[in-house]
Chain A
Amino acid sequence: MKGLPVRMSVGEDGQEAIEGDFLRLAQRGDAASITKLVETYQQKVFNVCYRMLGEVTEAEDAAQEALVKAVTNLHSYDVERPFKPWILRIASNGCIDRIRRRKDALSLDGMGEDGAWEWQAGNSPSPEREYLRNERHAAVRAVLDDLSPADRMVVTLFYWEGMPYIEIEEVTGLTVSAIKSRLFRARRTIAELLVQEETYA
């Protein structure tokens, strides 16, 4: 986009964050700016959804839903505020709703999902490595499934998105002290689960 007054900032994780004028253009419905917005944030949104939901297909749906919702609600977004926490908040809330619906369905029919993390063909040079990767995924999912959706979100944002407490506060709406407390309890729960897993193994 030649001549576009774009102000970009580089985040701590090295990914570009779009700000200011660019978002204003997207707010006015500029197609190129909307495409750039989606391209910039889609992987980050998907990563959070994937960590929260644990399934590729559902995470893709949730990420797409969050991106569509964010762009169609851009008029209610304050461009002076950072965009990343805003869009991740939309994604996280969507994932929490999905987890709740999933639990409702589980309690209704008494059956869960297959519990298998989807196999990502082409990502691994050997079946053994892929097997180990899936084992690790299954272990993480088993651990995360025992956490409440809100705790899972805090763990996801802290450990895998590398967010500082202040940014997690913006995404979740929880206070910093509540985030620290939730994170600590989640760590304790995971520690206990790991011990149980080892004992069982």
Chain B
Amino acid sequence: MPEKLKMPSQELHSEAWWIRVLDDELTPDEEVRWGAHLLQCESCRQELAALTRVDLFLSQVPAPPALPAGFTDATVQLIANKQRWHRMLSFLAGSLVIALTSLLVVGVARSALSSFELGVGVMFFARDILFHSLVQTMLALLVRWRTILPYVVGTALVAYALVVPDGLLMTFAIVWLSSRRRARGMA
């Protein structure tokens, strides 16, 4: 056998080699070596025949049946239902945020009118509750649909900005109450 046709049989029996054979990736030289090897290796001949039969077997498999009539309509209807449900839940979540914010603002305003300290206390307490509900709502949306709808985020951010200690509402409330107290004291 010519020197160049000699090749370690271990390599010719490797998975990597077989993959190249089946993918038709051998170079012309390698083709020659492979042909020579096949002539003298019974197990490789058998394996090649078996693998060729696999290709034949799989290629003769009948095509899948056609989808039944009405499949498209049923699927589109399911999608529409799911989207409607999605929108409704998002609307409910948004409404909940708005309702909580309104309650908070009304509660704080009413409390602040009767007592400054009580008003601040209620504001901090309500802020914590609101913040936790917002986080939970957003987490639920994130886990369920892997999304946070922009308007839910927008409402949440506005609501949160209004009630954080250094937020606008708190600033206005403190300034307003302080000036009112000063005015009372002067009177």
Contact = CB atoms under 8 A, between A and B. Distances in A.
Interface residues of B, number: 37
A123 B75 CA distance: 24
Interface in B1-58: 15, 18-19, 22-23, 47, 50-51, 53-55, 57-58
A43 B55 CA distance: 24
B146 interface: yes
17 contacts: A31-B80, A38-B75, A56-B65, A71-B79, A72-B82, A72-B145, A120-B65, A136-B62, A140-B61, A180-B23, A181-B19, A184-B19, A187-B55, A190-B57, A192-B50, A194-B50, A194-B53
B15 A184 contact: yes
Contact of B82 (A68, A133, A181): A68
Interface residues of A, number: 45
Nearest to B60: A136
B185 interface: no
Contact of B58 (A181, A188, A190, A195): A190
A76 B61 CA distance: 36
A137 B75 contact: no
Contacts of A64: 71, 74-75, 78
Contacts of A160: 58, 61
Is chain A's binding surface mostly helix, strand, loop or mixed? helix
Contacts of B54: 187, 190-191, 194
Contacts of A51: 64
Interface in A90-121: 120
Is chain B's binding surface mostly helix, strand, loop or mixed? helix
Given A72-B145, A155-B58, A194-B53, 6 more contacts: A72-B83, A184-B15, A184-B18, A184-B19, A190-B58, A191-B54
B147 A76 contact: yes
Contacts of A31: 76, 80
Interface in A74-97: 75-76
A39 B15 contact: no
B148 to A, nearest CB: 11
A38 B15 contact: no
A68 B51 contact: no
A76 B146 CA distance: 8
